[in-house]
Amino acid sequence: MPSFDADALATRAAGGEAMQAFAPFVPTMLGGSADLAESTKTVFKAEPSFNRERAGRNVHFGVREHAMGAIVNGMALHGGIVRPYGSTFLVFADYMRPAIRLSALMRLPVVWVFTHDSIGLGEDGPTHQPVEHYAALRTIPGLTVVRPADAAETVEAWRFALEDADGPVCLLLTRQGVPALERDGSASPSGLVRGAYVISDAGARCDAVLAATGSEVALALEAQAELAADGIAARVVSMPSWELFERQPEDYRTSVFPPGVPVVAVEAGVSFGWERYADRTVSVDRFGASAPGSEVLRRLGVTCEAVTAAVRAIV
């Protein structure tokens, strides 16, 4: 699998590089995108396309997300060793929800790759900016939803999907570049397989926990530094998958979220569901807006200032 330097990189781009790396070793994986392969970065390079004259690994599904989902499920049900995947923008998961639900019901070994995973995608506006979609996918029993924080976690997400998953996996990836995150000495991107892990601790004292997913983990780390300057010790937890975290033993879960320590969740989507883990949220309980991604995030309150204010309010 690839490794990455410290430059900012969209997790969709990191996912594409991971696919090129494992392609020779997973020769029966095939799939494609509903119209958007250049944007989802899910093409196996130098491989032929599938058509009526020729078998190939790249399938052009057309602008029809539900049909893509049905076809991917059908390939998995064929009975051979095919490992199929489908991809599109996250907001279009709504069009294929019945197919995603059936893949979970049947425990099919499929991968759903969804990019453009937040309001941070920018100018395409609220019709293309998912806000309720993390929560909607997490409600499907048997579906593992993974939203990696940076390129290194994206590689681990693909590794999990290929080696350890016992049913369908959704990968939620960014359009915008995200930094390669600095982790504490004992922290590793492989912590992704446990659903949540401490990416940066506050030291011996812990006044609050910042639990974040995806691109918002970098924001939580920024807030941690500002809070430390004010004498507030905040732990940062990267929480790419609720489902994987819930499978961990209780002693691990309490080691990540110590009892009695207040939690602020940071995610650029609706707050629904976070009440099981968090006392407060920095979230987006409305539709998005059309502007550059950084401006949308600022206007809708997904900012370092909002995170630090939420922590100060509960500490």
User: Is residue 291 classed exposed, middle or buried when 0-12, 13-18 and 19+ CB atoms within 10 A define those classes?
Assistant: middle
Evaluate whether 5 touches 13 at the Cβ level (below 8 Å): no
C-alpha distances in Å from residue 264, one per residue of 149, 181, 208: 17, 20, 8
Distance of alpha carbon 1 from alpha carbon 118, whole angstroms: 26
Q: Hey, which residues does 263 pair with through a beta bridge?
A: 209
Alpha helices in 97-190 (DSSP H): 97-105, 133-138, 151-163
C-alpha distances in Å from residue 37, one per residue of 21, 44, 108, 140: 18, 10, 23, 26
Of the candidates 90, 54, 98, 52, which has an alpha carbon nearest to the alpha carbon of residue 72? 98
Both tokens assigned to 175 = 């359009």
Q: Distance between the two ends of the chain, CA-based, in angstroms?
A: 41
Cα dihedral angle (273, 276, 278, 283), rounded to 10 degrees? 0
Active site residue 53: no
Catalytic pick from 65, 156, 216, 243?
Answer: 65
Residues with catalytic roles: 65
